Chains A and B, each alone.
Chain A
């Protein structure tokens, strides 16, 4: 029998970026807020101290800071005709676990989605005609525009101290920034990071070809910074141990050194760790949540935590899992295209061009998680898709992130994989190579979705989440088009060797790491028949439940998601404060 605890105003499930932001904003508003986090608490000192933290094997290969799949994982199949099988070890993506969530060990590449990404369906219809989208593509607008979200993007960027170069301030184009970006109300809080050699070379080559390169916006601080909440961040050391690691220098914006300690200044906020939420409990009418049930993973004891408001901030995949386990909203059915929970799961298509320069030295180990130069000319709807016959695009990036040698040993095509020749080539090319990557959009498609697995169970005896997913023809065309441009820029850099053109062209595999940019499954929209949450990320079915994260994206763009995720979290917190509290109930009529 679960122990019933004292009610709170708000219970937040998950203490990563979105949970941390809600905790800060809602505790500032005077509400009693409880954060429940399934993982442990880690602090920069001592958990990320040097030399211990600079251990590639432990953190980057054995994934110490990530979700432990022996306890909970998901099952995967490419299509409904296959039997989904468990992801038995981490691979394609790496969900976080512990206070700070994936914000502890992200890279910090922090973009805004472009205005057309937010209004994609309308944009495609107006520019190319309704028949342009292929059969089976579930193209959708966000129910809020870029302009509506702009103040919230801005708030996230100032809280996280983003280093970057604006390209468009209130409609005025700024030299050196991204000329395609939506208008921003002001510049970035910090100047861009220092460029690497490969960044300088890539920028020159891209400009030469008529593209518009700009420094990648970074949550790695280009200088020491105090954010508007009074939290201090240090200067980035280009330490080359960013992604997969906690930052020793407090120079990477993370919830554990920004929003969470800011919330902890409020006595009405409390945090409970190793508390694994297993379901949202509903009142008998199914229209309101009573609170949540969780298990203390240290003792196995179960608790009921009543709350007036429940916020799911358990990463996109966790949010959808909890909705399905709790019977909230109609599960999506791909055969009839009815139901909403699990619909619109999207990912990303990535590709790489590797270049080799006999006479250059790149010192690859001097890098930062977001250090890089980006070309956005073929992203989103920044170009005419008419002649190309697909929707979407990609950011094309030269990155200087790390040279950790278990993972990073680029070799020209045809080099042996072992033996003396391999050793000599590994030595020769280690410092003489740089790559160009594409990060491509992914459109929602009828057969791609999340549901509960009929066979496999987690450590709490609950069905695993099941992922049914594959890339589509539209997205292969996107990858072919954008990878060719990446290859052209690579050639223009004048390398001695270049890898062959290799756009994404085969079906999705759960094995190699691609990105932790899983989106959709609880998408936001105007209509409860086609979306799971309304424009305030409030469940259409359970009005005191807010579902915050990339689960809300109707489709995925050619950017990293967290700029948009952070904006949505501030937007939702604001709606709860200014709209919901005075009139609890549905904020949008169904």
Chain B
């Protein structure tokens, strides 16, 4: 997808230089993750396919969004290839998305930032409302949905969202970003049993060994030395 006819200034909607892209230059991949390259997507069982909650438009947004946060490069396949969009979908479809373990009674007031979440929506409703509002915003300023924006324009949109600088209908942009960002990073680093972190690629990325953790000797043996082990997930041990 290209930057077709898109003027970045126009996209920013007069936000000024403050919303310039955060350093988007790709770092040299000095240390490729073992056994994982962009050319050969993660091995292991195939990622779960299909969506329970997201409709096709929402799914297209979510895939583009997680791929922007987690691009394919020498260190890992893309967020979508790692199942991150599926992870987000399953969370939104499940109890968490429906507001389990949240106090959802009114009356409702905006509140101060220190008072935290005061939206009357469940997380799933908030994400659905937010995606629609962001889509409307992108179509208004760029004449294209988010997923069809070029990389620079996407970066601008994500950065502006992160800084709470986009006015969205019905939802605060910062809250939407924080919710989506938390979901995407969970999808990369949570146990693969939830649908993301395919083949433990997120764990391989940082060097987290997973669920086996009997380190009473290791803490001395490996003091100051790198401990490398094939990461183990819940499914590996079940």
- Report which A residues bind B (CB closer than 8 A): 50-52, 54-57, 61-63, 68-70, 73, 76-78, 82-83, 85-91, 194, 196-197, 200, 235-241, 360-361, 363, 365-366, 403-406, 409, 416-428, 430-431, 455-457, 507-511
Contacts and interface: CB of A to CB of B under 8 A. Distances in A.
Contact of B206 (A52, A90, A419, A430): A430
Q: Is the interface of B mostly helix, strand, loop or mixed?
A: loop
Contact of B114 (A78, A197, A426, A430): A78
Contact of B208 (A88, A404, A455): A404
B207 A427 contact: yes
Contact of B223 (A196, A236, A426, A510): A196
Contacts of B181: 417-418
Contact of A427 (B33, B68, B193, B220): B33
Contacts of A78: 112, 114
B38 to A, nearest CB: 10
A239 B213 contact: yes
A424 B103 CA distance: 38
Contacts of A51: 211, 232-234, 236-238
B158 A423 contact: no
A507 B31 CA distance: 41
A260 to B, nearest CB: 25
A418 B101 contact: no
B114 A406 contact: no
Contacts of A418: 68-70, 158, 181
**Pairs A-B, 4 closest by C-beta atoms:** A54-B211, A239-B213, A430-B206, A418-B69
Interface of B: 22-31, 33, 68-71, 73, 75-76, 96, 99-105, 107, 109, 111-118, 155, 158, 162, 181, 185-186, 189-191, 193-194, 202-203, 205-216, 218-220, 222-227, 232-234, 236-238
A366 B218 contact: yes
Contact of A69 (B33, B103, B190, B232): B103
A428 B31 contact: yes
Nearest to A248: B213
A420 B114 contact: no
A241 B210 CA distance: 10
A86 B208 contact: no
Contact of A424 (B75, B99, B223, B226): B75
A508 B30 CA distance: 41
A68 B186 CA distance: 21
A83 B103 contact: no
Nearest to B223: A197
B203 A405 contact: yes
A409 B202 CA distance: 12
B103 A50 contact: no
A417 B207 CA distance: 19
Nearest to B117: A88
B238 A456 contact: no
Given A57-B186, A61-B186, A366-B222, A86 B105 contact: yes
B118 A85 contact: yes
B114 A423 contact: no
A194 B220 contact: yes
A89 B211 contact: no
Contact of B211 (A50, A235, A403, A406): A50
Identify which of A361, A366, A507 gathers the most chain B CB atoms within 10 Å of its CB. Answer: A366
B19 to A, nearest CB: 15
Nearest to A54: B211
A70 B203 contact: no
Contact of B214 (A52, A239, A360, A416): A239
Nearest to B189: A405
A68 B23 CA distance: 41
A24 B81 CA distance: 55
A511 B114 contact: yes
Contacts of A427: 31, 33, 75, 205-207
Contacts of A68: 101
Contacts of B158: 418
Nearest to B216: A237
A427 B76 CA distance: 11
Nearest to B211: A54
Nearest to B209: A365
B205 A77 contact: no
Contacts of A420: 26-27, 29, 71, 73, 75
A62 B182 CA distance: 12
Contact of B26 (A70, A237, A419): A419
Identify which of A62, A85, A421, A509 gathers the most chain B CB atoms within 10 Å of its CB. Answer: A85
20 contacts: A51-B211, A51-B236, A54-B210, A54-B234, A61-B186, A69-B102, A83-B109, A85-B118, A88-B104, A89-B102, A200-B223, A235-B216, A237-B213, A237-B215, A405-B189, A405-B203, A427-B205, A431-B207, A509-B113, A511-B116
B102 A419 contact: no
B121 to A, nearest CB: 11
B23 A426 contact: no
Identify which of A68, A86, A403 gathers the most chain B CB atoms within 10 Å of its CB. Answer: A86
Contacts of A77: 115
A428 B33 CA distance: 11
A365 B26 contact: no
Given A88-B116, A419-B24, A427-B207, A363 B216 contact: no
B208 A365 contact: yes
Identify which of B68, B100, B102, B115 gathers the most chain A CB atoms within 10 Å of its CB. Answer: B115
A85 B101 contact: no
Contact of B76 (A69, A239, A417, A423): A423
B206 A416 contact: no
Contacts of B238: 51
Contacts of B155: 419
A443 B127 CA distance: 41
Contacts of B220: 194
B69 A57 contact: no
Nearest to B87: A57
Given A78-B112, A425-B27, A430-B208, 7 more contacts: A51-B237, A78-B114, A89-B103, A365-B215, A366-B213, A409-B189, A418-B70
